[in-house]
Amino acid sequence: MSEKMWGGRFAAGTDSLVEAFTASIQVDSRLYAEDIRGSQAHARMLGRVGVLTASEVEAIVAGLQQVGQEIAEQRLPFVDSLEDIHMHVESRLTEIIGDVGKKLHTGRSRNDQVATDLRLYTRSCVDDLVAALRHLQGVFVDLAEREVETILPGLTHMQVAQPVSFGHHCMAYVEMFQRDAQRLQDARKRVNVLPLGAAALAGTTFPIDRWDVARQLGFDAVAENSLDAVSDRDFVMEVLADLAMIAVHLSRLCEELILWMSAPFGFIDLPDSFCTGSSIMPQKKNPDVAEIIRGKSGRVVGDLVAMLVLMKGQPLTYNRDNQEDKETFFDALDQVRASVEIMSRMLPGLQTRPTVMRAQAERGYATATDLADYLVRKGLPFRDAHAVVGKAVRLAQDRNIGLEAMPLPDLQALSPLITEEVYQVLTLEGSLAARNHLGGTAPDQVRAAIARARARLAEEQSA
């Protein structure tokens, strides 16, 4: 006869290969603290509604506390025969306090239990990741403030477009990670719904108080439909989608860091402690950390796709397929959290090479648009101004000089509207000063944007 907690209906034990294949303890063991906490809340509620006596509740809560301590101290061995963290906790509890431990599972199923554990764990991870993103935003704000005066050639199509403040460029990532944090906070609302009480799928005949458990565990709501409660993994897919987007933003950042550090660009240098060398080429300093984060983005996107495919064919309600939800989810959480942390540590040591950046901006005729805008302000239609400046760029290219080095008579030959004052907008500083919209790229406007971002972060962190 099977010795499983569910084995009463079975005449034979589980094949050892099946036990190893179906066990999830090596993955879901990280849910032990949530399982302990949820079980204690469930026991207290059973005591309040009269299903358990006060002494039984006291024994169960204390016993669970001991189980949790044993797991935290790695004194409780995990075995495949007990399948998952829930069975390990209940089995050890019963060993400690006797048959009273067998009463803990009254009025619930592993179906609603694991859903509760996973929501508690997800909520905690979301809160932690939002805090980490806020810290990363602060790192970018500090970097932006340090590099306000540094001129960077802004690119479109990987071609020099217009000059921007490197501080302004850094602030773009502050906005990206702001949206990431907001998405996670919004998803948290849908995570923070209690499924416990749905039992296997149809609720329980015991007079449980679900709102009592919800209040104990800090849930904002209880699941309305028991079928949906045990089978819903939308919250996992939603958070995974948010993680994938964070990973994509980190990957874009890493792509820039890798390019900027390469010899053809030479814009920045990353700290030695975040780079590695070559086993054969002594001169190499490789941005391995950035490359690995960029690589992990594909892994996280793959975790999202795996979860979507996992759920797409499942009928209501709970299916054992859902055991596979945690490995990919935990992987994505781990990879994104680690990537955010290491990026926060690496960026403060980033060193810019302003002279190289400036030379690249000058080489790419970055002030051409400013010359066109100058002509428009003089009364020339934009399309005509565009044509005039295009000819000016071609002439400068033929002479291998910048627009700011073009003699005034040569510019006036292209358009009589051009006067001496044109050279004010042909310099990189003049170009920056001319564009102050959307937070601006000129130093004063970037500083104002930094101040607003600092105030916003302070307000969000205090909240």
Alpha helices in 147-233 (DSSP H): 166-191, 210-217, 226-231
Neighbouring-strand partners of residue 221: 193
86 is a catalytic site residue:
no
Burial class (CB in 10 A: 0-12, 13-18, 19+), 244: buried
**Catalytic one of 2, 16, 124, 278:** 278
105 is a catalytic site residue:
no
Q: Which amino acid belongs to residue 315? A: P
Nearest to 291 by CA among 320, 332, 256, 336: 256
b/e 400-426 (16+ beta carbons within 10 angstroms → b): eebbbebeeeebeebbebbeeebbebb
Nearest to 343 by CA among 284, 272, 245, 257: 257
The answer to whether residues 16 and 98 touch, using CB atoms and an 8 Å cutoff, is no
Q: What is the DSSP string of 10-55?
A: -SSPPPHHHHHHH--HHHHGGGHHHHHHHHHHHHHHHHHTTSS-HH
Which is it for strands 221-222 and 193-194: parallel, antiparallel or unpaired?
Answer: parallel
The residues annotated as belonging to the active site are 157, 278
